[in-house]
Each structure stands twice: as C-alpha cells, then as structure tokens.
Amino acid sequence: MKNKKKIIIYSIICLFVVILIVSILLIKALKEEDSKYDEILESKEGIMSEDENPISLIRTNNTVTYYTVDSCLKSYFTMLEVEDRNVLMAYLNENYIDNNNINNNNILTVLEQYNDYNTYRTAEMYELANFSITTYYVKGRIDQKNVYFIVHLDVNNQTFDIEPITEDFYNDRINNKKDAEEDGVQDIAKKVYNSFVYKDLNDEVISKLYFADYIKTMLTDSEEAYNLLDKEYQEKRFDSLDEFNNYIQENSARLNYSVEFETKDVSDYENFNEYYEFASKHEKFGLTNYLVEQFTDYTRYICVDGYNDYFIFYVTYPGTYTVRLDSYTIDMEEFIEKYNSSTNEVKVGMNTQKIIEAINTKDYQYIYDKLDDTFKNNNYSTLNDLEEYIKNNFFDTNEVEYTNCYQEGNVYIYTLKVKDAENPNTNEKELTIIMNLKEGTDFNMSFSIE
C-alpha cells in the first residue's frame, strides 16, 4: 500500500515538472516571437517617414460596392426630386443633421436642389476601410457640375447614411488621409427607409450599365461625354466639342431609344401593352452583344447594339473609364490580327463592315476620306455633297446582306443588299462597292446604290 502511494506521488511530481518545463519553453518562444515582431515594427518605422499615413484610404475597385453606393445616392436624388422629407431625414447622417439644425420643416431649404435629377452619375469613389462601417468619399456629376458626398455603409445592419460635402472637403480628405478617420461612424440605426442591398451584378449587367450611362451622359452633359472619350480616338474622330455635339444631334433619336430601352421597365409605362410595343419595336437599340476582357491596367467592355454599332469602354476603376464610339476609327489588335491572316475577299468584307457602321453612325467624314480620288472629284467635290447623297439614298439605320465578291483586275467588287433596319417591309436596295486594298488595313473605294 505504501509503495502504491509513493508511485502516485512520484507521478504527480513528474507531471508537474513536465508542465513547468513546457511552460518555460512556451514563454521563451513567445518572447522570441515578440522580439521578432518588435524588430519588424522597428524596421517599418525606420523605413516609414513621419509624414507617411497608415490610414487605408483607397480607390474603390470593387464593382458591386461601387454600384451599391451609386444606388444609394441615386435614391437620394430621387427623394429630393419628389421632395419626400421623411425619407431624406432617414438618409442623412445624424451628425450632419445635428450640425446643420435640420428637421422635417427646413430640410428642403437646407439641401441643395437641382434641375435634372436623372442626370446624376458617380464619377469616382474612395473608401476608408479601417472601420467596421466603411466610409465612401464620392465625386459625382449632376446638372453639368460636380457634387461631393460621404456615404457610410453599415454591413451588420444593412443600413446607410449620406452627408453632402464641399469640393474642398473632398479634396482635403483624399489628399490628407490622416484626417479621414474623423469621418467614421460606429453604428447606423435602421429607420425604415435607409436599408440597402448589394447589387447583383454579372458581366452582362455591368456592360449594360456602362452602355446606358455613357449614352445618357452624351444626351445630358455632352462636354463631360466628350472628355470621357479616349484621347487618341477623340483626336482622330472629332476635331472639336462642336463636331461631337453635331454627332450627338445626328444620332439623337437612336441614342434616346437606347437609353430608354436599357433603363426603363414596364412600371415606367401606362400599361404593359405600351411597354411591349416600345420594347419590341426598338429592341435592336439595346445592347445585344458584349465582350469583357481583363488586362493589366484596365478592363475592356466591348458593347454592340442590334445594329452592330460599337461602344468600347476602357475601365480603370468602377465608373472611371474612357470610351470609343466605333470599331473602325482605330483598329483594335484583334481586328489587325484577323485582317492580316485573312484572304483578300475577307479583308474587303471587313472593310465594307466599317463603311456600313460609319453610314449608320452618320460619320460622313470617314467615308469621304476613303473615297477614291477620281471618284470623289467626279461625284462629290465637297463633304456636304456626299452627306446629302447618303441621306437621300440610304436608310436612317441600315442592315446589309452580303451577296457576292469577286476580283476584277486590281480591285474587288462587292455587292450587298441593303435593308431598312427599322422598317423591314421597305423595299431593299442593292449596293455595289469597288475596293482597292492598300498597305496595312488601309483601303479606298467607290460605290453605287440602286
């Protein structure tokens, strides 16, 4: 019995010693780890100057987040337009309400009013991600002028609030990130109206959003739309803002139909029959094909409507893009690669498609520049002569059916059937194009239509 007790006592002592040794080793390991961590911090402090800022204020690069915040702001402008005081009070940041002594009676006099609330678009967005509730600094545009806001999203409560700010305040926060932490909030209570849901987006939806956004900007803020053009494209396609405005005027009906088709639904019409009549008649003005390609510094969205008109977007951040309005002014790499590996007959067809696209977008200068000099001098001594001829002999929107292509000497003769894309019952015409292939992707041509 005594031996058994001794064994038990000895085992307890051994277990205690083992625990003590393990504890000592763990403490030593933790101290070594702390020492390493301190060294890392010291090295960072040695590299980082006192002026550098650890606040994580970055450009918003998540498309879902961008369009979610954008949706909150568009709701704000809608409520301003209909003058719904209760909803606006629910949208506004509590500190902003207190600091400006805002209440239901004076809210519409305190908040800035606008002429056309439907013109709002978000131009750029930064986010402060150091808090559980993310702060977004937004630069937008409405009534052809810039506007600025702070938007908070409370992910836990699925709520948001909005605070109008000045341009100086916005620039100060973007350029002096250390002050941005003052704008954080801890909680956004639910107020019935201030809930949000993250946008459900895919490549097709995003392509449609860019397509409709830019066309709407063309119609409501042409100077901004002109500035959004890819610079190389702008220089080659439009000599000035006036020429761009002329392009918009020439294509205004088509552009209006495109925006209406992509942005309105059955609830915007008196009844379903009215909606169906518009949608079925003008569906080709909407986006029918798209291609999304990822590159190192940007994402390219190639958007094509039912009449084969192109809108090509180069997106660096969500909502921040440049755009080209056709596929022929500047050849894309894919076009050049396919062109160089094609037969001459296919090259003629590819060039002919450029001509048809130019006719549909009323780009008479492009067609005029491609005319054979002798043919031009004999038939169209001025650009206006060609413009008048095309307007009188082609349809407003043309669809073509390629019928035959053959070589005759040094030129290729291509015959096509031309149809009125908007009125299929209209009699078709026959277009003959005589084309001379030149160096690279260049060409010149003459034509006749009957």
pLDDT in tens, 57-73: 889 999 999 999 999 99
* pLDDT averaged over every residue in the chain: 85
Q: Has residue 261 been placed in a domain?
A: yes
Residue 62 shares a structural domain with residue 109:
yes
Residue 207 shares a structural domain with residue 281:
yes
Q: Has residue 31 been placed in a domain?
A: no
Q: How confident is the model over 325-335, as a mean pLDDT?
A: 92
Please name which of 198, 142, 137, 205 lies closest in space to residue 172, comparing C-alpha atoms.
Answer: 137
Q: What single-letter DSSP state applies at residue 178?
A: G
Residue 171 shares a structural domain with residue 135:
yes
State the residue range of the domain holding 82. 57-183
Whether 332 has a pLDDT exceeding 70, the answer reads yes
Domain with residue 427: its CATH number is 3.10.450.50
Residue 363 shares a structural domain with residue 430:
yes
What's the token pair of residue 404? Answer: 């035959």
Last residue of a domain, one of 290, 324, 358: 324
Residue 320 shares a structural domain with residue 271:
yes
Tens of pLDDT along 164-221? 999 999 998 888 766 666 677 777 888 889 999 998 899 999 999 999 999 999 999 9
User: Lowest mean pLDDT: which of 48-62, 163-177, 347-361?
Assistant: 48-62
Last residue of a domain, one of 269, 296, 324: 324
Q: How confident is the model over 281-301, as a mean pLDDT?
A: 91
Whether 22 has a pLDDT exceeding 50, the answer reads no
End-to-end CA distance of the chain: 122
Residue 225 shares a structural domain with residue 280:
yes
Model-wide pTM > 0.75: yes
Q: Has residue 371 been placed in a domain?
A: yes
Q: Has residue 47 been placed in a domain?
A: no
Q: Has residue 148 been placed in a domain?
A: yes
Q: Has residue 298 been placed in a domain?
A: yes
Helix or strand run (H / E) with residue 346: helix 344-360
Q: Has residue 9 been placed in a domain?
A: no
Neighbour tally for 299: CB within 10 Å: 18
Residue 251 shares a structural domain with residue 154:
no
Residue 131 shares a structural domain with residue 248:
no
Residues facing residue 162 across a β-bridge: 92, 151
Last residue of a domain, one of 269, 290, 324: 324
Structural domains in the chain (count) = 3
Residue 166 shares a structural domain with residue 242:
no
Residue 207 shares a structural domain with residue 174:
no
State residue 110's pLDDT score. 95
The answer to whether the CB of 172 falls within 8 A of the CB of 82 is no
Residue 246 shares a structural domain with residue 311:
yes
Residues facing residue 383 across a β-bridge: none
Q: Has residue 3 been placed in a domain?
A: no
Please name which of 308, 412, 396 lies closest in space to residue 354, comparing C-alpha atoms.
Answer: 308
Residue 314 shares a structural domain with residue 391:
no
